[in-house]
C-alpha cells in the first residue's frame, strides 16, 4: 500500500505571510507622511526659509509668530490628507487631498490662524512685561496656561474644519474649547508633540521640517478625531 509523504510544517508555515494590503497600507502611510512634509514646507516657505537663515529665531519670536499665520490653512490640508488615508487606505492621494483640503478649509482656517497668532502675540508681550513685576510668580503661570489653551483650541478647531465641514466657525470654536478642556490629557499630548515639532524646526529647520511634522501631526489628528467622534456619539 502506497504511503503518502507526511507534510512537515515548521514555524514559518504557521505564520501568515503579509499580504498586498498590508504592504499597501504601510506604503500609504509613508507616502502620505513624506508628501505631507514636503507640502507643509512649500505652503509655509517664508517661515521655513527665515528659520534657516536667521541664526537666533527665539530672539525674534514675534516676527516668526507672524510668519506662522500660514500654518493653519496648511494644517487643514494635511489633516484632509490624513482623513483621505483613513477613508481610502492605500488608494489615498495625499497631494490631491492636501490641495483640496487647503482650498476648502482656507476660508475658516485662515481666520483661526489670524486669531491664534494675535492672541499668542498679545500673551507673549504680556509675558515679557510681567516678568519684571512683583506679581510675576502668579501672572506668568496664568499667561502660560492661557497660551496653551489658545494653541490647543486653535489646532482642535482646525481639525474640526476638516471633520465637520458644514459647521459654523463659532460652533467649531465652542466645540474645540469644550473638548480641549474636557480631554485635557489629549490637549497636553498635543502640546508636547507641537513642542517637539517646534524644537526640531528651530534646531534643524530643513531636516526638522522634512522629517518631523507629518508623523507627529498624525497623532495630533488621531486624538482630535477621537475627541470629536466621542463627543458626537455621546450627544
Q: What is the pLDDT of residues 174-185, one digit of tens each?
A: 999 999 999 999
User: Please, is 90 exposed, middle or buried when counting C-beta atoms within 10 Å of its C-beta (0-12, 13-18, 19+)?
Assistant: middle
Q: In the chain, how many domains are there?
A: 1
**Mean pLDDT calculated for residue range 194-219:** 87
pLDDT for 34-61, tens place per residue?
999 999 999 999 999 999 898 888 889 9
Q: Predicted confidence band at 31 (pLDDT cuts at 50, 70, 90)? A: confident
14 within domain boundaries: no
Ordered DSSP codes for 172-191: HHHHHHHHHHHTHHHHHHHH
- Separation of alpha carbons 100 and 104, rounded Å: 6
Q: Indicate if the pLDDT at residue 206 is higher than 60.
A: yes
1 within domain boundaries: no
Q: Where are the alpha helices (DSSP H) in 20-60?
A: 20-43, 45-53
pLDDT for 83-131, tens place per residue?
988 877 666 688 999 999 999 999 999 999 999 999 999 999 999 888 8
12 within domain boundaries: no
C-alpha cell recorded at residue 135: 506679581
Q: Which of 47-51, 135-139, 188-192 has the lowest mean pLDDT?
A: 135-139
Residue 15: predicted pLDDT: 39
Quote the domain boundaries for residue 227. Answer: 21-234
10 within domain boundaries: no
Q: Indicate if the pLDDT at residue 224 is higher than 80.
A: yes
Q: Residues with Cβ < 8 Å from 105, sequence gap 6 or more?
A: 73, 76, 77, 80, 158, 161, 162, 165
Q: Specify the higher pLDDT residue, 204 or 193.
A: 193
Residue 7: predicted pLDDT: 46
Q: Predicted confidence band at 11 (pLDDT cuts at 50, 70, 90)? A: very low
137 within domain boundaries: yes
pLDDT for 145-155, tens place per residue?
999 999 999 99
Q: Specify the higher pLDDT residue, 186 or 233.
A: 186
Residue 65: predicted pLDDT: 93
3 within domain boundaries: no
Q: What is the share, in percent, of the chain residues with pLDDT greater than 90?
A: 60
Instruction: Record the pTM.
Output: 0.85
Q: Specify the higher pLDDT residue, 92 or 164.
A: 164
Q: Predicted confidence band at 21 (pLDDT cuts at 50, 70, 90)? A: low
In this structure, which long-range contacts are made by residues 55-63, counting pairs with CB atoms below 8 Å and at least 24 apart in sequence?
57/202, 58/202, 61/124, 62/121, 62/124, 62/125
4 within domain boundaries: no
Residue 13: predicted pLDDT: 42
Mean pLDDT of the chain: 85
Residue 203: predicted pLDDT: 85
6 within domain boundaries: no
Amino acid at each position: 500500500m502506497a504511503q503518502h509523504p507526511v507534510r512537515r510544517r515548521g514555524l514559518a508555515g504557521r505564520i501568515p505571510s503579509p499580504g498586498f494590503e498590508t504592504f499597501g497600507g504601510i506604503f500609504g502611510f509613508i507616502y502620505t507622511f513624506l508628501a505631507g512634509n514636503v507640502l507643509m514646507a512649500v505652503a509655509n516657505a517664508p517661515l521655513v526659509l527665515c528659520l534657516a537663515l536667521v541664526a537666533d529665531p527665539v530672539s525674534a519670536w514675534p516676527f516668526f509668530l507672524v510668519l506662522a499665520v500660514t500654518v493653519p490653512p496648511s494644517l487643514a490640508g494635511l489633516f484632509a490628507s490624513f482623513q483621505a488615508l483613513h477613508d481610502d487606505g492605500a488608494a489615498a492621494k495625499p497631494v490631491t487631498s492636501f490641495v483640496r483640503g487647503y482650498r476648502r478649509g482656507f476660508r475658516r482656517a485662515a481666520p483661526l490662524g489670524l486669531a491664534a497668532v494675535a492672541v499668542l502675540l498679545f500673551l507673549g508681550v504680556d509675558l515679557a512685561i510681567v516678568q519684571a513685576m512683583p506679581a510675576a510668580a502668579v501672572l506668568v503661570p496664568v499667561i502660560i496656561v492661557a497660551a496653551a489653551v489658545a494653541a490647543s483650541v486653535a489646532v482642535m478647531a482646525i481639525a474640526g474644519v476638516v471633520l465637520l465641514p458644514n459647521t459654523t466657525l463659532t460652533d467649531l470654536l465652542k466645540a474645540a474649547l469644550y473638548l480641549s478642556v474636557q480631554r485635557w490629557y489629549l490637549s497636553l499630548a498635543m502640546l508636547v508633540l507641537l513642542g517637539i515639532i517646534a524644537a526640531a524646526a528651530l534646531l534643524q529647520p530643513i531636516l526638522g521640517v522634512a522629517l518631523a511634522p507629518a508623523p507627529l501631526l498624525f497623532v495630533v489628528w488621531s486624538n482630535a478625531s477621537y475627541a470629536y467622534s466621542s463627543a458626537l456619539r455621546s450627544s
